[in-house]
Amino acid sequence: MARYDNIPEHDINLNGTGLKVGIVMARFTLDVCEGLLSACTAELQRLGVAAGDIAIATVPGALEIPLVLQTMAQTGKYDALVALGAVIRGETYHFEVVSNDSCRGVLEVQLKTGVPIANGILTTENDDQALVRMQVKGADCAQAAVEMANLLKAVGK
């Protein structure tokens, strides 16, 4: 649906057919990360991304995610990437460091390489919040990855 007469607008395209998507998942807080992963991969496949066109790499924790994303982006094999992890507040400043630096790293990789990255690194106050959000966030990331890959192709990447 056009918002303005005579001004072209790119429609949202959630067709994942033919797209190649890489996922980097942290293993820290594994139950939450596995929930994110299962929701993400199920949604990618529902959107038409073939199982054989999805690659999964796991890393120890959220701080390791950006490096593997960067390496995957530099291969040129992927139309989009997804970062999955969970950082749950504890009693120390470590939560802020991991939350801020992992998210900044994901953003920097995306901007440096031009490969869209859906950021599914949850940052929550407690385990219950993470468990409640993991399914929705995993699926949201799949949709964002597909939409952004298609949008970048449409605008001239």
The catalytic site residues sit at 94
What pairs with residue 82 in β-bridges?
23, 118
Number of residues that this document lists for the chain: 157
Distance CA 43, CA 50 (A): 11
Pick from 110, 100, 127: which is nearest to 74 by CA?
110
Strand intervals (E) in the chain: 21-26, 54-59, 80-88, 117-124
Q: Are 139 and 82 in contact (CB under 8 A)?
A: no
